[in-house]
Structure 1
Amino acid sequence: MSIKSIAAKVFAAKIYKSTKSWAAKPVETQLAVFHNLINTAKNTQFGKDHHFDEIKTIQDFQNQVPIRDYEDLKLYIDKVRTGEENILWKGKPLYFAKTSGTTSGAKYIPLTKESMPYHITAARNAILHYIHETGKAGFVDGKMIFLQGSPILTEKYGIKFGRLSGIVAHFVPKYLQKNRMPSLATNCIEDWETKVNAIVEETISEDMTIISGIPSWVQMYFEKLQEKSGGKTIGELFKNFNLFIYGGVNYEPYRAKFEKMIGRKVDSIELFPASEGFFAYQDSQKEKGMLLLLNSGIFYEFIKTDEFFNENPKRYTIGEVELGINYALIISTNAGLWGYNIGDTVQFTSLFPHRVIVSGRIKHFISAFGEHVIANEVENAMREATEGTNIVISEFTVAPQINPSSGLPYHEWFIEFENEPENINTFAATIDDAMRRQNIYYDDLITGSVLQKVVITKVSKNGFQEYMKSQGKLGGQNKIPRLSNNRDIADNLK
């Protein structure tokens, strides 16, 4: 065992002990974060506009600060972008992370001196928890690859701009620099296909032990490795590769194909990062869900999704949440986001400690007929339909068909198969049964002959990649929505 792996185990034990301490006091931990945020920002423009100096309790805060999305906060953010200080947070941010917006083009999310370290330590601590629980630390001596955006940054008014993954690339610890791949030159390539080909050239002969990225784009990397190697499995190419780290989308729909490409099962760690904050990571290989980071400069509120669009929905705090309820995630942060709706929905799988799964997006659902189907439900249905079979899927998305040429409306599942089912109708029926068990509203619509059962449309090989390329969203942090309430993606795929 190397000195580096021994040191990693010692450090992992220390971090585990620290995590256990704050996780055991969730309400107290969040209350301390809340008061620190209010006191630090009370002299900012936002703090003065919302009378932070009068806020003593969480109820005071909820009375003074409404729920906002990016558009509602944009007037403040635009002032920060033009160099004004003390607007949302003290001073000026270090960075703006540029991310895709759904209604107004690009969004610019501030990253401050106080918030930036948590993006780094959370990813590190996820690995350290894995080491502490499993005792496996040998991978620290091998090569590690993080498929990410370009680290090239621009600067204006003393603030640097770039993609979050590119910004984070500048903070890789020195002790990992020699192990980290790809090279800086390759990482700076903007065109995704060119970049992946270059990464393949650099890594195919290396001893890769950790591979990290959004599953859909890691899949593309694996496919190109196999093409280059004449069909070898990833496990044959990288004999010591045993840990996959991912975030952004649920891994389960990809797991069967990954294990086929790798040639064996490998451990995985799920992360829940975003430009707005690093919210959670998988702290255990044995427990379901990711540990919600309650001590990381973020104050969390939760709104039940079935109440979200009410005029005045109740805002729950960490001591009030329940298991299995679908909540919209609301955050206030040490980067100057206040009562901010990030758009993601979560469900708690554990309340001691608080662990969550990402169940979908508050705006990504199907409710064309009042069924309110969410991403977690379609992903569970797909898992049930493929489990224990030879069926392997590369990608899928779901959309409603409201005006079919004949017959009743239906939910249309667009699926790119690696291995197709022997009987597509039986497969569709299995998915439909799983959906009906999970969602009583959907079941009522089928029973009441308002909808017909699931219809599957096959997508040609690389069809989803071609769609993303046509939208200028190939690679990086971009991903296909698992479902949508309109036909925009569906009609493009057709």
Structure 2
Amino acid sequence: MIKYLSEYLTSTFLKKRIKNIEFFMRYPIEIQNQLMNQLILYAKNTEFGKKYGFCDIKKYQQFSERIPICKYSDLEYTIKKIRRGEKNILWPGKIKWFAKSSGTTNTKSKYIPVTNISMNECHYKAGKDMLSIYIHNHPKTKIFLGKAVRLGGSHELYKNYNTFYGDLSSILIQNTPFWAENICIPKKKIALMSEWETKLEKIVKETGHKDVRILLGVCSWLLIFLKKLLKKFNKKKINEIWSNIEVIFHGGVSLQPYIIQYNNLFEKSINYYNIYSASEGFFAIQDQKNVEDLLLLLNHGIFYEFIPLEDIKKNNPKIISIKNVELNKNYALVISTNSGLWRYIVGDTVKFTNLSPYRILISGRTTHYINSFGEELIIENAEKALNFTCLKTNSIIHEYTAGPFYMGEKNSGAHEWIIEFKKLPQDLNIFSKILDKELKSLNSDYEIKRYKNIILNPPIIHVARKGLFYDWLKKNKKLGGQNKIPRLSNDRKYIDSILKIE
């Protein structure tokens, strides 16, 4: 009885949140302007607020003219001071939690401040909205009668001062509100373990006999977990273990490279809902069934601005508010947040698929692309081309990365790919030709550079041994949590690093 009452109260509460979502969908510009003013009001007496005259900023033009855009390197010294316990610098009061960004292997870690208000008014609020949307789209759902498996990272104490750092997921698990903790497994003691492989074994053991209906996590790591679960219980399909499994909420990396593997794990259809959450904030949620684009969250403590991708390397790039964005154009994301990030360049690129309401696709990273020859290949191009090629060649990709093969005196350049297949194509040469042709159709710059092999030769493809990418992540202490394979790089550091352990 208590279980059903809990389900009723939780689902009733979440259904009410749909009205809040519909409100910011209806009045997006007004909501964003109001939010900008609220952020300024909160922080006007901080060091940063006094420096840039927050007390008399009233309009967006003043906001954009006074406050410079910044990257993490511009804030690194300031954040070190905040981690040492200094107060009222970027945001009022003392900040206790810092999300250590996963970054990519060999990349210096970032420590993103996470305030109490950002946890409650951004991350947890977005989590409630995620569930609200799901209930709205699936009114007969029974997900609250079972458990949700969360696959997160770990955290550790920053020992010199009374502040904590770790994966964002671990910070959120540590501070999970009661309404969520009631249905989530594993419990915190296991969920926050640092050693990934040991933790994975314990999660399999704890969750295998429970009535699991929801999965939450990065889809690449969830896939490893599910395969381990099947092996442990000697089953072929996940439904044989969890008969009521219903939905996977996933983020961090694209589902496209893994979707065939996921579908093979389930004997009946399952719902996939994509989320766009990062160390800096929870930005967007898939609000419709079976679509790729995501609803941008406009009332969750984040004020958005956008830099056209072609301007990102300029000294004075064009920066616009959401009011002036255009459809199907790539933008670098700039945010001001209730964690004290001001006009911060996140590093992600998005494009708008709809302007009423505002829906986006994550198109790539400002640093993860290949443009060594002027081809401007972004992750969105790569994911679509690989997915198409796999369908045409009846193959399945497990992991991949790509980078430039540089021109020599007597040869053109090329793109070099390392691909770990779950199912190999019958003919790798045909796979390469289809991939090349599809990249040309998706990217006119790539097509031009491939003309008669003058600048770019056909793709070079290495078939990776089984487990290569996992071993590479393990070697670099990047297992679990929000860590991910760098898909595209404009230099050879990842390609060469992986090939060394091949």
TM-score by length of 1: 0.95
> 1:187/1:288 Cα in 2 relative to 1: closer, same or farther (>3 Å)?
closer
> What is the alpha-carbon distance in structure 1 between the residues aligned to residue 263 and residue 148 of structure 2?
19
1:107 aligned to 2:110? yes
Instruction: Confirm or deny: 8 A CA contact 1:459 1:493 kept in the other structure.
Output: no
Specify the code of the residue in structure 2 equivalent to 1:177: E
Instruction: Confirm or deny: 8 A CA contact 2:209 2:241 kept in the other structure.
Output: yes
> What is the alpha-carbon distance in structure 2 between the residues aligned to residue 219 and residue 207 of structure 1?
19
1:70 aligned to 2:75? no
Q: Aligned ranges for residues 254-403 of structure 1 at < 5 Å?
A: 254-387=258-391, 390-403=394-407
Query: 1:387 aligns to what SS in structure 2?
Result: helix
Q: 2:31 aligns with which of 29, 32, 38?
A: 29
Which moved further from structure 2: 114-123 or 367-376?
114-123
Q: How far did residue 251 of structure 1 move? A: 0.6
Q: How far did residue 243 of structure 1 move? A: 0.5
Instruction: Confirm or deny: 8 A CA contact 1:330 1:341 kept in the other structure.
Output: yes
> What is the alpha-carbon distance in structure 2 between the residues aligned to residue 104 and residue 90 of structure 1?
30
What percentage of aligned pairs have identical amino acids?
39
Q: How far did residue 104 of structure 1 move? A: 7.0
Q: 1:206 aligns with which of 206, 210, 224?
A: 210
Specify the code of the residue in structure 2 equivalent to 1:110: P
Q: How far did residue 57 of structure 1 move? A: 1.9
Specify the code of the residue in structure 2 equivalent to 1:491: D
> 1:249/1:206 Cα in 2 relative to 1: closer, same or farther (>3 Å)?
same
1:53 aligns with 55
Q: 1:92 aligns with which of 91, 94, 100?
A: 94
Q: Deviations over 1:54-87 (max 9, x none)?
A: 4232121221111101110123222212222111
Q: How far did residue 89 of structure 1 move? A: 1.0
Query: 2:496 aligns to what SS in structure 1?
Result: helix
Query: 2:324 aligns to what SS in structure 1?
Result: coil
2:135 aligns with 131
Query: 1:343 aligns to what SS in structure 2?
Result: strand
> 1:27/1:176 Cα in 2 relative to 1: closer, same or farther (>3 Å)?
closer
1:246 aligned to 2:236? no
Query: 1:212 aligns to what SS in structure 2?
Result: strand
Gaps of 5+ in 1: none
Specify the code of the residue in structure 2 equivalent to 1:224: K
Specify the code of the residue in structure 2 equivalent to 1:107: K
Q: Deviations over 1:354-399 (max 9, x none)?
A: 1111111101110010111111110010111123653111111111
2:481 aligns with 476
1:235 aligned to 2:239? yes
> What is the alpha-carbon distance in structure 1 between the residues aligned to residue 16 and residue 159 of structure 2?
38
Which moved further from structure 2: 49-58 or 463-472?
49-58
Instruction: Confirm or deny: 8 A CA contact 2:420 2:465 kept in the other structure.
Output: yes
> What is the alpha-carbon distance in structure 2 between the residues aligned to residue 276 and residue 219 of structure 1?
25
> What is the alpha-carbon distance in structure 1 between the residues aligned to residue 179 and residue 334 of structure 2?
35
2:144 aligns with 140
1:219 aligned to 2:219? no
Q: Deviations over 1:406-443 (max 9, x none)?
A: 85321122111111111111111111111101111110
RMSD after superposition = 2.0
1:452 aligned to 2:439? no
Specify the code of the residue in structure 1 equivalent to 2:130: A
Specify the code of the residue in structure 2 equivalent to 1:411: H
Which moved further from structure 2: 164-173 or 460-469?
164-173
How many correspondences in the alignment?
A: 494
Q: How far did residue 210 of structure 1 move? A: 0.8
Gaps of 5+ in 2: none
> What is the alpha-carbon distance in structure 2 between the residues aligned to residue 25 and residue 373 of structure 1?
35
Query: 2:148 aligns to what SS in structure 1?
Result: strand
> What is the alpha-carbon distance in structure 2 between the residues aligned to residue 364 and residue 432 of structure 1?
19
> 1:130/1:405 Cα in 2 relative to 1: closer, same or farther (>3 Å)?
farther
TM-score by length of 2: 0.94
Q: Deviations over 1:222-253 (max 9, x none)?
A: 22112222342222221111211111011111
